[in-house]
Amino acid sequence: MARYKPYFYNRPKFIPIRFSKQILPGTFEYTLNYLIDNELDLSIFDERFKNDETGAPAYDPKILLKIILYAYSRGIISSRRIARACRENVVFMALSADTRPHFTTIANFISTMDKEVVKLFLEVLLVCDEQGLIGKDMFAIDGCKLPSNASKEWSGTKEEFKRKVQKMEKAIKGIVEKHRMTDKTETGNVVREKEEKYIKTLQDQVKKIREWLKNNEDKIGKSGKPIKSNITDNESAKLKTSRGVIQGYNGVTVVDSKSQVIVAADAFGQGNERELLKPMLEDVEKNFKAIGEDEVLKKAKVTADSGFHSEANLKMLSEKGIDGYIADPYFRKRDPRFQEEGAKYREEKEKRRKRDKQFRARDFSFAEDLSYCICPAGNKLYRSGCNIERKGFRQVRFKAPKSACSDCELRDKCMRDPEKTEARQVAYIVGKTEEKKNSFTEKMKRKIDTGIGRIIYGMRLAIAEPPFAHIRSIMGLDRFTLRTKKKVDVQWKLYSMSRLQKVPFCRQC
């Protein structure tokens, strides 16, 4: 019978360790250690401390940066877990030289380095540029929506919060009244104790909301109406994602095509990306100007998805002389590669629309000379206007006589408000106006629909998406743990820097 050597995982063993031997060449921790010690100028952190004559010595920023960036690269976000790793993990011990900083020191360092992180990001960008890792031929812009350290249940307008307070106070009154009506039996005491805890929770929440209502005003949206605020982190926002609505921030990056180096990274508390294109391009120009590269965007192509599309953005690209490729919301519908795949879906969607909603212009039959049209019920609508311009399109309008619609069986499906509307009107789109034909949106459509345009825009997916996939799936950094835009922006820039383990950072390593 075979015999094997016994082994025991729980057996303790004391081993002499030389920390420099634990950081092996060819690994990310070796590159990280080399860069921070030899390439990056961290004198920007010296202004934090004034303890040259009095006070205790501070932890070296080099040590803190090493363990934080290495922890982020391994999906460790919590400052408590980072501090614990410095006591238990050999690589963390080696990077920190066994200094074992407290978790409060780590947390404070991250949350207060909003000024230094910008300079640090530029230092890393400069090293990447010197190593030839940035091609400056094409940049892809994209956003990644991540939840933050705030609950969407604490979002609303002031009116909604007032109604929530009234509802809570009503619940408290109901429980108190119930206590007055019941006897203090033994079983009742157990239930009463739980209910009293619930009352205390509600009272604390009411106090929290009232305090916020006293010191804050509604955030106003572009339409001039109040939008939802958040009591926990008022700079975060409700964001729509493929997994539902989250309370968080939109981490936007600009990625270079050569080695997928992130050349600009910012976090925004808004989901609408149309307003984020200009600040991201300005960041790219500012970052490259800081490392000695002027007008880098005029020499490169810029791609972005339809979330960044707007007439104002395309006009801005044209005025700045930037060769941009930004898809409009209907780009895929014009792409022949998606026509066959989407045909069945569109057919089913059209069937549901006809079954559930009102008739549209496509359900009417129009005469060749556009002198009249026939509605689904077989009644004739007569022309009531020609060459009408609306939203960049020329239209011919038709209107039915009141007698045709008054007793029609399809009235409910034909009109949005059958009780108030006397007769159905419909518009036939003849074509685009000259102004719309020459708009920046139409020019971009013609540019991006060419063979070369589709090839260039198709490269966006391979440039912008892999960094997000690496950050979220491989590194496991799937949420922001800090609050306020300033602190979240620090964390997002650190995410972007720690992601550089996928880049051949330094040939000397």
Amino acid at 139: F
The gap between the terminal CA atoms of the chain, to the nearest Å, is: 49
Q: How confident is the model at residue 276 (pLDDT cuts 50, 70, 90)?
A: very high
Axis crossing angle, helix 311-320 with helix 277-290, rounded to the nearest 10: 30
What pLDDT does 509 receive?
47
Q: Tokens 């650190």 identify what position?
A: 494
The pLDDT of residue 344 is above 70: no
Nearest CA among 188, 161, 160 for reference residue 175: 188
Indicate whether 351 pLDDT > 70: no
Q: Which token pair is 89? A: 């993990």
The angle subtended at Cα 162 by Cα 159 and Cα 166, nearest 5°, is 140
8 Å CB contact between 244 and 152: no
Q: What is the pLDDT of residue 222?
A: 75
Q: What is the mean pLDDT of residues 54-74?
A: 89
Name the H helices within 357-482: 402-406, 411-414, 434-437, 440-448, 451-469
Q: How far apart are CA 308 and CA 319, in angstroms?
A: 17
Q: How confident is the model at residue 356 (pLDDT cuts 50, 70, 90)?
A: low
Indicate the DSSP class of residue 60.
Answer: P
pLDDT greater at residue 405 or residue 191: 405
Contact status, residue 423 vs residue 100, Cβ threshold 8 Å: no
121: amino acid identity, one letter: F
Closest CA to 72 of 105, 123, 28: 28
Choose the weakest-confidence range: 135-149, 164-178, 182-196, 329-343: 182-196
- 267 or 505, which is more confident: 267
Statement: residue 182 has pLDDT above 90? no
- With beta carbons less than 8 A apart as the criterion, state whether 53 and 72 touch: no
Are 127 and 506 in contact, with CB atoms under 8 Å apart? yes
Residue 91: the pLDDT is: 92
Look up residue 39 and give its DSSP letter: I
DSSP 152-212: GGGEE-HHHHHHHHHHHHHHHHHHHHHHHHS---HHHHHHHHHHHHHHHHHHHHHHHHHHH
- pLDDT at residue 507 tops 50: no
Please state, as a whole number, how many other Cβ atoms lie within 10 Å of the Cβ of residue 320.
15
For range 229-237, the mean pLDDT: 86
At 141-158, the pLDDT tens digits run: 999 999 988 888 888 888
Lowest mean pLDDT among 7-11, 211-215, 463-467, 505-509: 505-509
Confidence check: pLDDT of 183 > 90: no
- Split at pLDDT 50, 70, 90, the class of 508 is very low
Whether 105 shows a pLDDT value over 90: the answer reads yes
pLDDT classification of 165: cutoffs 50, 70, 90 = confident
Q: What is the pLDDT of residues 483-492, one digit of tens each?
A: 899 999 999 9
pTM recorded for the entire structure: 0.80
Tens digits of residue pLDDT in 18-46: 888 888 888 888 888 988 988 888 888 88
